[in-house]
Chain A
């Protein structure tokens, strides 16, 4: 492996971690740990396994065909077939973006005391400015390096010495002892937050931006496995901290305020600020990826010029998509929607729409005319088949669970 590949591998892993841990992971992990201690760890592990495969597939597809997913899916299945997944994807991206902006606003609220709604427009402008001014490379580097701050959850988890037996027991699914509707709602929300469609739709366009070719297939495998695995470790850290700090005190996370105390035991002086900083950075990094995922998907669907490295004058329509997306989704926060509730419901919707966004993707991974020897093998397809069954179940149960279990 040459130097450039090694750098790409390292950078890709850090970026994957930066993009992985977001408002959705923080909210669902905090709720899971506070209400059910380690009992829902299995849901995080299952989601991580599936997202590793999905991200690996989308990167492999981009490296081999040099086409991003929306581009290839429209070309392959035609506009009318792609239209419904495209609209569904745009809607969930919009809600996820609002959740990330809400997360940043809440972090600023924690530090300043001003209501989150006050921060909605300044945060929207900051996020937009970041996208408008930067190239793809700067975005990768800066958000990912700052994203390492979220490792505070892992450090805190280790400092708390969690009970190993109980933690290991949580890795296997078990039935809840209380509040079954809430248990299953959080289980589904965790899956939705981990298998977030923006992760693999962003990743495939990013690989095209970085001009990957078939020689990147192995680099891609490393990034998907280590990056997603490491990202999930941060979410695991958050579950452990919530279980050790919040659960014994009977604190349930119905509001981000309760989650904000998570780090104060492990870091007595800095815990509160550290939580706010980690939350703001995680949400900013993910928000940028979601906004870009929206712009990539729309531009590719209609064949517009696109690329984060181009001057906005060369791809005005592409830039207008993320500009409008950021502005409109920040309005949800401006109008006072509770960021945590929005995030939890959005994660369940993420899970519900999985069949729409995953089916065309998994079908195209088997096209030997496009992918030749790099088409999915039996291992990837077994995981894909399992994912499809799970996605169909999630599509049916998610929305009823939001109504029954979502607070």
Chain B
């Protein structure tokens, strides 16, 4: 039987999209608990609040409040990006590859916003 060590080989690994654009890291892993059957990997969790939770649950709640307070939600709709395991194309020593286009996912919300609202306004950057 081929096995995979979730913490050593998947958690914290670089995530890339189908064109190998780097789009984040495996910040959390979710298991589905099924009655009478072994648990199954449900999804990959990505985002700052997921990381905050790993440090302390209170930090997660605090970050969520900050987001609402400063209206960051207009840039990034969801604080976490949950990708179903079915979207995972490949797990290799270098990365976890997803069958998505990074630019269309919430993982690229900030990247897209900075590109359109900051980088595009720098003189010398051709649009």
Q: How large is the interface on B (under 10, 10 to 19, 20 to 34, 35 or more residues)?
A: 20 to 34
Question: Which of A66, A80, A315, A319 makes the CB contact (< 8 A) with B54?
Answer: A80
Q: A6 in the interface, Cβ–Cβ < 8 Å?
A: no
Q: How large is the interface on A (under 10, 10 to 19, 20 to 34, 35 or more residues)?
A: 20 to 34
Binary per-residue interface labels of chain B (83-127) against chain A in the complex, 1 for a CB within 8 Å, 0 otherwise: 000000000001000000000000000110011001110101100
Contact B111 A303 (CB under 8 A): no
Contact B12 A78 (CB under 8 A): yes
Q: B49 in the interface, Cβ–Cβ < 8 Å?
A: no
Q: B11 in the interface, Cβ–Cβ < 8 Å?
A: yes
Question: Nearest-CB distance from A211 to chain B (Å)?
Answer: 14
Give the residues in chain A near B76, CB-CB below 8 Å. Answer: none
Binary per-residue interface labels of chain A (114-156) against chain B in the complex, 1 for a CB within 8 Å, 0 otherwise: 0000000000000000001100000000000000000000000
Knowing A74-B25, A302-B25, A313-B125, the reply to whether A319 touches B12 (Cβ < 8 A) is no
Binary per-residue interface labels of chain B (18-35) against chain A in the complex, 1 for a CB within 8 Å, 0 otherwise: 000111110100000000
Q: Which of B48-85 contact A (CB under 8 A)?
A: 51, 54-55
Binary per-residue interface labels of chain A (65-78) against chain B in the complex, 1 for a CB within 8 Å, 0 otherwise: 01100010011001
Contact B25 A303 (CB under 8 A): yes
Q: What's the count of A-B pairs with C-beta under 8 Å?
A: 58
Binary per-residue interface labels of chain A (300-332) against chain B in the complex, 1 for a CB within 8 Å, 0 otherwise: 001111100000110111011000000000000
Q: Which of A61-109 contact B (CB under 8 A)?
A: 66-67, 71, 74-75, 78-80, 83
Question: Which of A74, A79, A303, A312 makes the CB contact (< 8 A) with B15?
Answer: A303
Q: Which residue of A lies closest to B115 (CB)?
A: A316
Question: Nearest-CB distance from B11 to chain A (Å)?
Answer: 7
Sample of 6 further A-B pairs with CB below 8 A, known A312-B119, A313-B115, A316-B111: A78-B12, A132-B124, A303-B15, A313-B119, A316-B115, A320-B114
Chain B interfacial positions (CB closer than 8 Å to A): 7, 11-15, 21-25, 27, 51, 54-55, 94, 110-111, 114-115, 118-120, 122, 124-125
